[in-house]
């Protein structure tokens, strides 16, 4: 079985939580895009973990975890993440972690460039996590990147780095930043690269063999459909492809077709960073929802913007992800509401539209809300569909119909077992 677990919204839907749950049935878990701008929070019997780079399967013994060629890897950050897991008693070894030799290295100068550019932009900044993601993907496409496999040939890497720095320093001069020193850069690469060398391999070969052996493979996305570089809210996107269609390419088995796409969708909306967010709540209303859902970025600690469920955006997310099933998360968070706001359409220039617009049209969109009955009770211990209060069941049915995709899983808490499966 080849399954992708992807985000339907702006990210932070609870993908890590769902991968942690579903990984029970999979032997191989692959991250296929993004870098340590991700924050996947997982709560299980081993404790609470926040993973930025490692696939969430590392917390399941018996799985093999792949960091695919579509990823960008800050090697210092990865070493820290592996060490932190080891200290909590989680085994990370060459038996359960393999890193693609084609994944790109996110360098310290990428972080520097990210910060300098956000500061130059001032109040027009994108809201970047400042972890170098846009610059490293930019360099990939400019063909000025360094790949994990380069770490295996350190002597020739030295010349590559020297050539890139002579170019990169021209760009940094424009920001009046200090020059990047070759020796320091090489030292950084050596210090952290040498710790990771055992994990670097031809992951394509491994995955190809896994497919032939009929192993179950799960692809774990970072961020959501609305942050995809092509199909998201450009330029308030991330710099990679967050869609399921990219999963086989970014993981290392471009020739296979996915059999199953599970879209993780939040029962309300949250968004980190800049850009249009039509359903945004403000003031007290936002503060209460933010607290109820603990909406603070896992990677950055930044308060997330929050709002009601957004049908036009979520239906679009479902469509571009090609989901065949949905995992609805954080339904428990809405239990305090008397009436639950659902944005059913947008109004643009006086006309009502039910699709998700792009560009200037999206900037001018206003939400059209309907209010559904609140369920006003703690549902976090519900484990069967029948346990849910009627209003919660009605809410699920309403949004399921609105986004045109069956909701199979309903998550009612952060813990691994806090969920129920709907029968259809
Ligand atoms: P990801 O980036 O999609 O993996 O999501 P994050 O981990 O960044 O954000 C989701 C947050 O919600 C995490 O803190 C999870 O522990 C938490 N969470 C996930 N599912 C549920 C749920 O059903 N209910 C509640 N209350 N919290 C949840
Ligand atoms: Mg997250």
Query: Rounded to an integer, what distance in angstroms lies between the CA atom of residue 126 and that of residue 128?
Result: 5
Separation of 264 CA from ligand 2 center, angstroms?
A: 12
**In DSSP terms, which residues pair with 343 in a beta bridge?**
310, 369
**Ligand 1 neighbour 411 (Cβ under 6 A):** yes
**Ligand 1 neighbour 314 (Cβ under 6 A):** no
Instruction: Give the per-residue pLDDT at 126.
Output: 85
Q: Is 12 a catalytic residue?
A: yes
The residue nearest atom 12 of ligand 1, judged by CA position, is: 14
The minimum-distance atom of ligand 1 relative to the CA of 38 is 2
**Ligand 1 neighbour 227 (Cβ under 6 A):** no
The residue nearest atom 16 of ligand 1, judged by CA position, is: 414
Separation of 130 CA from ligand 2 center, angstroms?
A: 15
Instruction: Give the per-residue pLDDT at 29.
Output: 97
**Ligand 1 neighbour 114 (Cβ under 6 A):** no
* Best probe residue, ligand 1, of 11, 15, 17 (max atoms within 8 Å of C-beta): 17
HSE on the CB side for 226, CA within 13 Å?
32
**Ligand 1 neighbour 250 (Cβ under 6 A):** no
The residue nearest atom 25 of ligand 1, judged by CA position, is: 413
The minimum-distance atom of ligand 1 relative to the CA of 293 is 26
Q: What is the pLDDT along the chain (424 residues), one digit of tens a residue?
A: 999 999 999 999 999 999 999 999 999 999 999 999 988 889 888 889 999 999 999 999 999 999 999 999 999 999 999 999 999 999 999 999 999 999 999 999 999 999 999 999 998 888 888 999 999 999 999 999 999 999 999 999 999 999 999 999 999 999 988 899 999 999 999 999 999 999 999 999 999 999 999 999 999 999 999 999 999 999 999 999 999 999 999 999 999 999 999 999 999 999 988 899 999 999 999 999 999 999 998 767 889 999 999 999 999 999 999 999 999 999 999 999 999 999 999 999 999 999 999 999 999 999 999 999 999 999 999 999 999 999 999 999 999 999 999 999 999 999 999 999 998 7
Catalytic residue among 12, 20, 139, 228: 12
Of 182, 199, 258, 247, the C-alpha closest to 34 is 247
Query: Rounded to an integer, what distance in angstroms lies between the CA atom of residue 360 and that of residue 362?
Result: 5
Catalytic residue among 20, 40, 110, 228: 40
The residue nearest atom 13 of ligand 1, judged by CA position, is: 41
Q: Is 373 a catalytic residue?
A: no
**In DSSP terms, which residues pair with 342 in a beta bridge?**
309, 370
Separation of 191 CA from ligand 2 center, angstroms?
A: 28
């Amino acid at each position: 079985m080849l399954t992708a677990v992807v985000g339907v919204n702006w990210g932070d839907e609870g993908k890590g939580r769902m991968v942690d749950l579903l990984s029970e049935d999979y032997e191989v878990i692959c991250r296929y895009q993004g870098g340590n701008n991700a924050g996947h929070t997982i709560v299980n019997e081993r404790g609470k973990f926040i993973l930025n780079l490692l696939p969430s399967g590392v917390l399941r013994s018996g799985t093999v975890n792949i960091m695919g060629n579509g990823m960008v890897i800050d090697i210092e950050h990865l070493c820290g993440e592996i060490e932190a897991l080891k200290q909590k008693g989680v085994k990370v070894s060459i038996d359960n972690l393999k890193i693609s030799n084609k994944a790109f290295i996110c360098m310290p100068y990428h972080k520097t460039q990210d910060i300098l550019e956000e500061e130059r932009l001032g109040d027009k900044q994108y809201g970047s996590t400042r972890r170098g993601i846009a610059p490293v993907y930019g360099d990939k496409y400019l063909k000025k990147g360094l790949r994990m496999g380069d770490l295996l040939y350190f002597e020739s890497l030295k010349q590559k780095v020297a050539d890139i720095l002579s170019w990169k320093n021209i760009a940094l001069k424009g920001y009046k930043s200090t020059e990047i020193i070759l020796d320091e850069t090489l030292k950084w690469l050596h210090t952290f690269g040498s710790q990771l060398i055992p994990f670097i391999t031809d992951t394509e070969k491994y995955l190809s063999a896994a497919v032939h052996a009929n192993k179950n493979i799960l692809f774990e996305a970072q961020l959501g459909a609305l942050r995809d570089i092509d199909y998201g809210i450009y330029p308030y996107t991330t710099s990679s492809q967050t869609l399921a269609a990219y999963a086989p390419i970014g993981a290392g088995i471009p020739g296979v077709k996915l059999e199953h796409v599970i879209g993780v969708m939040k029962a309300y909306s949250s968004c980190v960073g800049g850009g249009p967010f039509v359903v945004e709540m403000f003031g007290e209303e936002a503060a209460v929802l933010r607290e109820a859902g603990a909406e603070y970025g896992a990677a950055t600690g930044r308060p997330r913007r929050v709002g009601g469920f957004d049908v036009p955006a979520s239906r679009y997310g479902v469509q571009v992800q090609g989901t065949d099933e949905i995992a609805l998360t954080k339904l428990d968070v809405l239990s305090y509401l008397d009436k639950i706001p659902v944005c059913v359409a947008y109004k643009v220039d006086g006309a009502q539209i039910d699709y998700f617009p792009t560009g200037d049209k999206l900037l001018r969109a206003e939400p059209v809300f309907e209010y559904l009955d609140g369920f006003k009770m703690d549902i976090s211990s519900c484990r069967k569909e029948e346990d849910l209060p009627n209003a919660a069941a009605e809410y699920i049915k309403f949004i399921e119909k609105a986004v045109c995709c069956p909701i199979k899983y309903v998550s009612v808490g952060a813990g691994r077992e806090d969920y129920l499966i709907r029968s259809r």
